[in-house]
Amino acid sequence: MRIVSAADMEKVSRSGLRKIRPEKPRIAVGLATCGIAVGGMRVYDRIKEIIGEENPDIELARVGCIGYCREEPLVNITIPGKPLVILHRVTPGDAEEIVRAVEKGEVPVEKALCRIPLWDHITGCTQEYGAGFDGIPRYEDVPFFSHQKKVILRNSGLINPEQIDEYIAIGGYAAALKALSGMAPEAIIDEVEKSGLRGRGGAGFPTGLKWRIARNAEGDRKFVICNADEGDPGAYMNRNEMESDPHMVLEGMLIGAYAIGVSEGLIYIRAEYPLAIRRLQTAIGQAREYGLLGKDIFGTGFSFDIGIATGAGAFVCGESTALVASIEGRTGRPHPRPPRLTDPGGGLFGYPTDLNNVESWCNIPVIISKGSEWYAGIGAKGNSGTKVFSLVGKVDRVGLVEVPLGTSLNTIVFTIGNGGAGNKKVKAVQTGGPSGGCIPARLFDTPVDYESLNRIGSIMGSGGIVVMDEDTDMVDIARYFINFAASESCGKCVPCREGLKHTLLILNKILAKKATKKDLEILSDLTETIVATSLCGLGQTAPNPVLTTLAYFRDEYDALVNP
Amino acid sequence: MDERTLDAIIARHDAPAGRLLGILGEIQNQEGYVSRETLEMLSEKVGVRISQLYGLATFYSYFTLRPVGDHVITICMGTACHVKGAVAILEALEGLLGIKSDVTDDGKLSITTIDRKFTVEIARCFGACSMAPVLRIDGNLYGYATPEDLPGILGEYGWKP
Amino acid sequence: MIQQEIPGKPITVTINGKEYRANEGEILLSVAIREKIEIPHLCYEASLDPYGACRLCMVEVVRKGKREMATSCTLRAADGLEVLTDTPEIVKHRSILFELYLAEAPKSDVIRDMAARYGVTRTRFLKRIEQGDPLGNKCVLCGLCVRACSEIMGAGAINFINRGPYTVVNTPYYAPSRDCFGCGACVRVCPTNAIEMEDAGAERVMKSWSGTRVPLSPCECCGRYYAPRELSASVLARLDTPLKEEIARLCPECRGKHIAREEILAKHGGSAKHA
Ligand SMILES: Cc1cc2nc3c(=O)[nH]c(=O)nc-3n(C[C@H](O)[C@H](O)[C@H](O)COP(=O)(O)O)c2cc1C
Ligand code: SF4
Ligand code: SF4
Ligand code: FES
Ligand code: FES
Ligand code: FES
């Protein structure tokens, strides 16, 4: 069936709604990579074993992940007329009890994490689940959730990512319909520009402006690309966005393609994410069936399709020119800019190309749906919207945290994350991965926005926040990152290829207590040159972990260095 | 890899974007490594110089050029796993399997036990960082790993002390 | 992709406070070379696209009173462009880069002399000395040989292998190459004279490239083997008569190199000679 009108959409939406909220109880198991890694699949299989393949009284479903990683595996239960209840730390051994309770219209209260009576999917659908289960804490009262604002993760863990109908049921693709059939491309770009959305891939370049440049670039053939390389080791929000709500990414790209005037799209995704790749493939297939990708979308005459290109394990391929080289079948060695990707001759196969991060694309449907004013009202001035962070390392509540930009590190690490795991004292966080810096706990009142993080020597990056506690050796952390960057350097330019190698040798010498003050001097000279002379962002930012640990944890170096 | 299998893989990747890495990735997934014969055959079939293909196979960490053991154990060395003790996991694994891992001259870490049952490799993040440290055996992820868990996990793959 | 140079309109650029004439869009480094202003460089080659790998050619661009570093081999001349080539900032970073090169290619006289010319005579970094290195511990991975081999000659016999600090240049599997013409274009463009090639009787041996052997054809008059068989056939087919005659006038020692050069000129009209 092809969807061409609001009426068609409505029909699909009703069918989807019946899947999300069937007339019988639904047990939905969180099955993203993370949930599977801690046994979610075994829980699913066990429940299926108990209730049988087709059960007239209970619906069993797979959903994505709501992001409270510490409490995985998560299972949510909807009983008609009652609030949605999230169960946590579910094991196959709990399955029997869960099924028995659900059969009676109950839930196992001791396994319940929280209840959700009402959920706003933002894109035009508010789910009123119902009342009851008063003994279970409300979602808003769970400390991990209470300070979060779910805009990007609005559907994560609540809908089945492999069912396009469910996405449409919560208002999905309505923004695309609105944009393609009722808005001029320029008006969409204006809207994105006014929303203040900045690129979520790290540098924070205004998305609307990039689209405008791409739209105005000369040439008939152009590309849009979604950067799903997610190279920062310790960051996994893009993985969850694609695994839990893949249509959100596709819808964002569809709207962007229409605004820029492009008919070819690609998702460049790392090969280490096989489940995300599969779910995107499924989603693309379903979107094509409904005519939401392909020729003459919504009968507007506009055509657009999306292909998938996989990476092969190279951090540098997240860099724009290396990414394009990689898709073209070459090694990911960056080339000097200009030409930028948006310039004629600079993009994929030489055609002007717009490249945006997964999460940047995810913001588009809500911006179109709710309007730029609504969106700009979230977050801080010049830093509007929310951002998803992966809060990991030695923090008590690990998980995906979505907060308005401008939220302080204190709120993220202490209020939401509950401080160090095992009551240890938090010493620092690393934001921005290998390109970012180590921020000491005394600077945790810093608001997390692009400029404030830069000011203290770090970067926003893609949103990884790795927490370190009193046991973490900061010089070892610096060495870890330099080792990472050195082995991920493409090897094209000498400051990065050779400079990082020697930086690593010096750090090894320091950690072996064989270094002198002189080595520290060489270290700071060398890192300065790497920053100033490297060809691409990898080399230019790789010394940040050394520079910040030297600035904030100098005593740890001094303690290792001979006079 | 036999010619028919390779032809099928090539046929599946007909779009120019992402073609070569897509083909190489499938070869790697199916065979566990990329052999010289396969690479030379591919070079003939797609009309891309062997020097370019060899350059790709050695640049990208996803590809291995040597045959691997029956089971491939991949330890995550991402940041979250590092701070949560991935190095201790690697060392414990080396102890159990009686191997010493070291980067080879191509900069990749991959070592196979003498009986060719296990190959140990490292990866940069599976995106399951919240369960750090994480390891993967033949596609199955194991979160919250401790050195003490290893004998039990390895046992699932036929390892005996 | 090679961008054909269409000379832009005449403009003026300022280098170290002095004005020079240039064409709009021209590479700044080539303006400097023409005007004999010394900017060190290792990976620039007029007949190839700007590559920007060696980072030695960095200069400071002055814009609205602010200074910004940029590689002069990728910088395009525009009217009013102002650059400085020897600021304390540049000297500082350039010196460290030379130290890195001295450690990477400790056996290269070219690097040693070049560094010395810019006042760097020793390195604080650990020198890399590898026994049996096919490139004699002289290679700085400028990439010119790889690019000449594939982009100019179309042979694609050699390439980069591995990544990052493990990167080397050689033939795939370190085995003799079937794609090598034996043209010697790589030898010619290598700024550090790292590549070894030897003519032995009826064969040319690319010693650095895994001992690749290429048959030579004999000179018609004296019978001496002088140029790779396959290559001379393809080049001669393309040359016009005056050039053929010119070749006939050259001494056998120079012919091999000359053929490689003609090939480069025939394809790109640029200068294959490295400064
Ligand atoms: C070494 C390096 C790695 C990068 N890795 C990623 C990545 O994994 N994902 C990403 O979206 N952007 C990455 N970037 C940034 C991209 O080059 C690019 O700026 C971004 O995808 C643009 O999208 P945005 O404007 O939506 O942020 C990386 C940049 C560098 C220099
Ligand atoms: S900075 Fe590093 S990664 Fe970037 S081009 Fe240079 S060597 Fe390659
Ligand atoms: S051999 Fe010479 S030309 Fe080739 S990369 Fe090394 S230094 Fe450059
Ligand atoms: S548990 Fe799924 S993202 Fe963390
Ligand atoms: S850091 Fe190990 S899974 Fe991400
Ligand atoms: S000549 Fe400019 S970077 Fe090498």
Residues in chain C within 8 Å Cβ distance of B54: 159, 161, 172-173
Backbone angles phi, psi at A467, to 5 degrees: -90, 135
DSSP, collapsed to helix, strand or coil, labels residue B64 as coil
Residue with the bigger pLDDT between C247 and A396: it is A396
Ligand 4 atom nearest residue A66's Cα: 2
- Cα–ligand 6 centroid distance for C122 (angstroms): 22
Our answer on whether the CB atom of A539 is closer than 6 Å to any ligand 2 atom is: yes
**More confident: C164 or C65:** C164
Here the tokens at position B79 are 């940041």
Domain B71-155 listed as CATH 3.40.30.10: yes
**Taking 50 as the threshold, does the pLDDT of residue A143 lie above it?**
yes
Distance CA(A290)–CA(A308), nearest Å, equals: 19
How crowded is the C-beta side of A93, counted as CA atoms within 13 Å? Answer: 2
Interface touch C69/A533, C-beta < 8 Å: yes
pLDDT at C256: 52
- Listed in order, the ranges of chain A carrying CATH 3.10.20.600 are 385-469
**What topology does CATH give the domain A173-374?**
Rossmann fold (3.40.50)
Taking the C-alpha atoms of residue C158 and residue B49, their distance in angstroms, rounded to an integer, is 10
- Work out how many CB contacts closer than 8 A connect A with B: 159
Which residues in chain B are closer than 8 Å to C173, comparing Cβ atoms?
A: 36, 54
- Cβ contacts of C97 on chain A, cutoff 8 Å: 494-495, 529, 533
Residue A98 makes CB contacts below 8 A (sequence gap 6+) with A27, A47, A75, A77, A87, A90, A107, A108, A111
Tell me the C-alpha to C-alpha distance, in Å, between residue B36 and each of A178, A498, B64, C153.
Answer: 53, 30, 11, 25
What is the C-alpha to C-alpha distance for residues A434 and A507, in angstroms, rounded to an integer?
Answer: 16
- Please name the residue whose Cα sits nearest to atom 2 of ligand 3: C190
Chain B residues closer than 8 Å to A224 by CB? none
Residue A243: closest CA among A518, A24, A475, A32: A32
At A543-553, the pLDDT tens digits run 999 999 999 99
Q: What average pLDDT does the structure give for chain A? A: 96
> What's the average model confidence in pLDDT over C211-240?
75
Who's near A207: CB < 8 A, 6+ residues apart?
A192, A197, A198, A199, A356, A360, A363
Q: CA Rg, chain C, in Å?
A: 20
Closest residue by Cα to residue C103 from A533, A501, A535, A518: A501
Distance (Å, rounded) from C-alpha A424 to C-alpha A441?
13
DSSP string, A386-433: EEEEEEEESBSS-EEEEEETT-BHHIIIIIIT-SBGGGPPEEEEEESG
Q: Is B49 in contact with C156 (Cβ distance < 8 A)?
A: yes
Residue at token pair 């204190």: A410
Type of residue numbered A314: A
Question: A393–B107: do the CB atoms touch at under 8 Å?
Answer: no
Q: Which of residues 336-355 of A touch B (CB under 8 A)?
A: 348-349
How many CB atoms lie under 10 A from the CB of residue A352?
Answer: 27
pLDDT tens-place values along chain B, 161 residues long: 999 999 999 999 999 999 999 999 999 999 999 999 999 999 999 999 999 999 999 999 999 999 999 999 999 999 999 999 999 999 999 999 998 877 777 777 888 999 999 999 999 899 999 999 999 999 899 999 999 999 999 999 999 88
H or E, element range at C29 = helix C28-34
Average pLDDT along chain C: 86
Q: Which residues contact A52 (CB under 8 A, 6 or more apart)?
A: none
- Would you list which residues of chain C are within 8 Å, Cβ to Cβ, of chain A? 1, 3, 50-55, 58, 69, 71, 74, 89, 92-93, 96-97, 100-101, 103-104, 124-126, 140-141, 143, 160, 162-167
Residue with tokens 């009284």: A57
Q: How many CB pairs under 8 A join B and C?
A: 46
Query: Any idea what DSSP says for residue B112?
Result: E
Closest-CA residue of chain C to B108: C162
Touching C: A residues 468-507, CB under 8 Å: 486-495, 497-502, 505
Element (H, E) at C207: none
Contact A197, A38 (CB under 8 A): no
pLDDT value of residue B88: 94
Q: B39 phi and psi, to 5 degrees?
A: -65, -40
Closest ligand to the CA of B131: 5
| Chain-chain contact of C100 with A502 (C-beta, under 8 angstroms) | yes
Q: So what's the pLDDT on residue A109?
A: 95
Q: Which of C163, C164, C172 sits opposite B50 (nearest CB)?
A: C172
Strands C10-15 and A112-116: unpaired
CATH classification (class only), A385-469: alpha beta
CA distances from A398 to A99, A477, A527 (A): 29, 19, 32
Contacts with B, A 133-152, CB within 8 Å: none
Cα(C10)–Cα(C24) distance, integer angstroms: 6
Q: Which CATH architecture has domain A22-142?
A: 3-Layer(aba) Sandwich (3.40)
Which single residue is written with the structure tokens 């619906």?
A: A59
For residue A97, how far is its CA from the centre of ligand 3 (angstroms)? 69
Inter-residue contact C128 to C137 (CB < 8 Å): yes
Residues on chain A touching C52 (C-beta within 8 angstroms) = 335-336, 493, 535
Helix (H, G, I), strand (E, B) or coil at A62: strand
* A497 dihedral zone (left: phi>0; alpha: psi -120 to 50; beta): alpha
Q: Give the strand pairing for C58-63 and C66-71.
A: antiparallel
Considering just the CA atoms, what is the radius of gyration of chain B in Å? 17
- Phi/psi region, residue C206 (left: phi>0; alpha: psi -120 to 50; beta: rest), is beta
- Give the range among A93-107, C122-136, C250-264 with minimum mean pLDDT: C250-264
| Structural contact between residues A510 and A425, judged by C-beta atoms closer than 8 angstroms | no
Closest approach atom of ligand 4 to CA A38: 1
pLDDT at A485 over 70: yes
> What per-residue confidence (pLDDT) applies to C235?
62
Distances (CA, A) of A485 to A315, A454, A473, C143: 9, 19, 19, 21
**CATH assignment, A474-558:** 1.20.1440.230
Cα B106 to middle of ligand 6, angstroms: 26
DSSP H or E segment with residue A439: strand A437-440
The answer, yes or no, to whether any atom of ligand 3 lies below 6 A from the CB of C105, is: no
Q: Residues A538, A544, A547, A551: what is their CA dihedral angle, to the nearest 10 degrees? A: 170
A485 vs A494: CA distance, rounded Å: 14
What tens digit of pLDDT does each residue of C179-223 get? Answer: 999 999 999 999 999 999 999 888 999 999 999 999 988 777 777
Q: Is A272 in the pocket of ligand 5 (CB under 6 A)?
A: no
C-alpha to C-alpha distances, A401 to A382, A389, A398, A486, B146, nearest whole angstrom: 21, 5, 9, 30, 26
Q: Which chains touch A (3 or more CB pairs under 8 A)?
A: B, C
What three-state secondary structure class fits A256? helix
What's the confidence (pLDDT) of residue C222? 73
d(CA C74, CA A489): 21
Query: Where would I find the beta strands (DSSP E) of A177-242?
Result: 223-228
Whether the predicted pLDDT of A233 surpasses 60? yes
pLDDT of residue C238: 59
- What pLDDT score does C234 carry? 64
A358/A323 Cα distance (integer angstroms): 14
Task: Determine contact, residues B122/B90, Cβ cutoff 8 Å.
Answer: yes
pLDDT band at C266 (very low <50, low <70, confident <90, very high): low
CA-based nearest residue to B128, from A237, A231, A66: A237
Alpha helices in chain B (DSSP H): 3-12, 19-31, 36-46, 50-59, 79-83, 86-97, 150-155
Q: Tokens for C219, please give them.
A: 């000179």
Pocket of ligand 1 (CB under 6 A): A 199-203, 205, 227, 229-231, 315-316, 318-320, 355-357, 360, 462, 536-538
Q: How many CB atoms lie within 10 A of CB B78?
A: 31
Helices (H) and strands (E) in chain C, counts: 8, 11
pLDDT tens readout for residues A156-205: 999 999 999 999 999 999 999 999 999 999 999 999 999 999 999 988 99
Backbone angles phi and psi of A249, in degrees to 5: -65, -45
Q: What are phi and psi of A386, to 5 degrees?
A: -105, 170
Q: Are A12 and A168 in contact (CB under 8 A)?
A: yes
Point out which residues pair with A27 in neighbouring strands. A60, A77
Residues of C in contact with A494 (CB under 8 A): 53-55, 97, 100-101, 104, 140-141
DSSP-based three-state secondary structure for C43: coil
Q: Which residue of B has its CA nearest to C172?
A: B51
Give all domains of chain C, ordered by start, each with its CATH number.
10-86 (3.10.20.740), 88-129 (no CATH), 132-216 (3.30.70.20), 225-267 (no CATH)
